[in-house]
Structure 1
Amino acid sequence: MRAVLVRFALALVAFAMLVAPVAAQPDPSRRIGVTVADTGAPGYRFEQLRIDSTDGQRHYRVRVAVPTRDAPGQGFPVAYLLDGNAALMEVDAALLARLADAPRPPVIAFIGYDNDLRIDPDNRAFDYTPRRPGGDDAQRDPIGERRNGGADAFLGLIQQTIAPRVEAMAKVDPHARALWGHSYGGVFVLHALFTRPDAFDVYAAADPSLWWGSGYLLKEEASMKAGARPNVRLWVGEGAQADDARRPLPGRDPAAVQAMREARASVPPDATAQLAQRLRERGLPVALTTLPGMSHGQTLGASLPLLLEEIAGASP
């Protein structure tokens, strides 16, 4: 199965290299446009939720893809995807059709912000990062003036408000819930794993920004609760990252670029691989997949079909 997934990833790389240059970071000004949630897909229907944060400062649009067929006996698996607007742009009708024909098509909740941005950098910097010691002054992003520290409140919102409404739309398997995130979203997924390991059954992080907070997540890892043994899925890009780190970034504040490079230097280049090994030694089922030639930004779209097809039991 692993060989099949790697071959699929290599095919994605070849396509990406043909149509677009490698980009180190996603373009925060890019708009979502028309997606499969607007045009529809065989085997799925789309529902939509609008939800506010508990403090009323952030507003979410959750688009939910629900299989139209009867649920299997134990119910559908369900996948909660962060950066929902960006994730929705990477899921097309062909992928949903494959999932619909799989043994266990998932309910897919795309948790995005209620705007037309592909990536909302300010809101995600707050929602996806845990609070660090040091009071409010410590809750500043390592690479800018964005606020950090809202992960626990956001995780509570997912568990207590978003998930119940999503799971009321179809019969779901309470033992087949997945949480996926990319970059800072990967920080959130791992924070959830380390602090609430029984909240989900699959924790999936694509190129998680382990350098955030000078490796703060690695401290959380050390105090992870024992007992729960969820599946962990990790993806990392390989082949473009070194060049990305050296490439000038036109229009970016040089101080912010330097801060980014210093933050990344706070953990070793293979920090994710080392994390995977330590989690295996704890007894957790961990799969680490390397996506050759892919930049950090490209791992977002490449990891999604791999996760969704795996939890659906789709044939290669």
Structure 2
Amino acid sequence: MRIACTGLALLLGVAAMATPAAAQPGRARPVGTTVADAEVPGWRWQETRVTSTDGLRPYRVRVAVPERPAPADGFPVAYLLDGNAALMATDAALLTRLAAAPRPPVIVFIAHDNGLRIDGDARAFDYTPRRPGDEAAQRDVLGGRRTGGADAFLALIERTIVPQVEAMVPIDSSRRALWGHSYGGVFVLHALFTRPDAFNVYAAADPSLWWGDGQLLREEAEAVAAPGPAAVLYLWAGGGDAAMASPRVPEPGRAPAPPSAFQRARTSLPATATEDMAARLRARGLTVHWTPLPGLSHGQTLGASLPLLLEALSGASVATP
């Protein structure tokens, strides 16, 4: 692929902006300038906006479309949760590699429509399934945020966002992926266990399996395989967050502080919980690509997992199950 000098300078500039943004974990940090705001050779951008059925949460959906003729059966497509954070973790160099791949994917960034990298309150509700019990049970251990809206959000993606996006460009409906990180990973696994035919590829980066006192483990045990070809699952987990879940060492002469609800939740499952789930699902016949990301923190797995999924979808790389 030839790139004029001015185009190359732009590429390098956008990559320089994206790299520090992806390295900083702050949730409430402003989004700033991303690749969606600059011209990257081989790509064009389209956009749509939708609102939750209760009218409380607007979403901005930005779509990166390869500027080349679609394959006979259409482009693969990746629907990315935490769209603002995913945009900040996507640089021009990645898009350039994907543009040159055999089958570049259409990339759909689904974000809460504000200037925040991550909207903690909105995602806590949208990305988590409803738990058994009354409304008091639908409160998060992190700040008491409201939870339980995953089914409504999944319906919004399936019935509104997917049709709008797939009217923009020819899509290969057999190569439709859903990606999420952390609570987004909770959502992806909930979708796999309850709507296994909604997507063909499910991708969860460091999913918060501890959430809801092991809610996803119960859903896994109750899941029934969908008719037709089985979905493919990608799972990643980091290894640098042990200190987050552990109580601080007390000062000399002081009694240790009791663990917080968050610490108790995080330590309720073994460190190998994600790998163990991958093994169980593989034993049930699911194609599972399990990739540990040693040395990376929980936050860093967001940016590390994205190129692995997008390049696998594009045919630029082959993941080893």
Q: Please tell me whether the aligned partners of residues 40 and 93 of structure 1 are also in contact (alpha carbons under 8 angstroms).
A: no
Larger Rg: 2
Q: Which residue in 2 is equivalent to 1:235?
A: 236
1:124 & 1:27 partners in 2: Cα distance?
15
Deviates more, 1:261-270 or 1:160-169: 261-270
Q: Which residue in 1 is equivalent to 2:169?
A: 170
1:247 & 1:208 partners in 2: Cα distance?
22
* Deviation sequence 1:37-92 (CA, Å, 0-9, x none): 00121111011111100110001000000111000111000000000000000111
Q: Which residue in 1 is equivalent to 2:14?
A: none
Q: Please tell me whether the aligned partners of residues 102 and 315 of structure 1 are also in contact (alpha carbons under 8 angstroms).
A: no
Q: How does 1:100-111 map to 2 (within 5 A)?
A: 100-111=99-110
Q: Which residue in 2 is equivalent to 1:8?
A: none
RMSD between aligned residues: 2.0
Change in CA separation of 1:175 and 1:27 when aligned onto 2, cut-off 3 Å: same
Structure 2 spans left out of the alignment, 5+ residues:
1-18, 249-256
Q: How does 1:1-316 map to 2 (within 5 A)?
A: 26-228=25-227, 229-238=230-239, 240-246=240-246, 258-314=260-316
Displacement of 1:280 = 0.4
* Deviation sequence 1:13-32 (CA, Å, 0-9, x none): xxxxx979x98xx3222110
* Deviation sequence 1:102-153 (CA, Å, 0-9, x none): 1111001000011000010000000000001112111101222210000000
SS in 2 for 1:294: coil
Change in CA separation of 1:197 and 1:271 when aligned onto 2, cut-off 3 Å: same
Q: Please tell me whether the aligned partners of residues 106 and 312 of structure 1 are also in contact (alpha carbons under 8 angstroms).
A: yes
Q: Please tell me whether the aligned partners of residues 64 and 107 of structure 1 are also in contact (alpha carbons under 8 angstroms).
A: yes
Structure 2 counterpart of 1:188, one-letter code: F
TM-score after normalising by structure 2: 0.86
Displacement of 1:287 = 0.9
Change in CA separation of 1:315 and 1:270 when aligned onto 2, cut-off 3 Å: closer
* Deviation sequence 1:161-216 (CA, Å, 0-9, x none): 00000111110001100000000000000000000001101000000000000111
Q: Please tell me whether the aligned partners of residues 86 and 118 of structure 1 are also in contact (alpha carbons under 8 angstroms).
A: yes
**Could you say which structure has the greater relative contact order, defined with CA pairs below 8 angstroms and 6 or more residues apart?**
1
Change in CA separation of 1:136 and 1:244 when aligned onto 2, cut-off 3 Å: closer
Structure 2 counterpart of 1:292, one-letter code: P
% of aligned pairs identical? 65
Displacement of 1:257 = 7.5
Structure 2 counterpart of 1:305, one-letter code: P
SS in 2 for 1:46: strand
Displacement of 1:271 = 0.7
1:257 & 1:36 partners in 2: Cα distance?
41
Q: Please tell me whether the aligned partners of residues 76 and 313 of structure 2 are also in contact (alpha carbons under 8 angstroms).
A: yes
List 4+ stretches of structure 1 deviating above 4 A. Answer: none
Question: How many equivalent residue pairs?
Answer: 289
Deviates more, 1:199-208 or 1:255-264: 255-264
SS in 2 for 1:181: strand
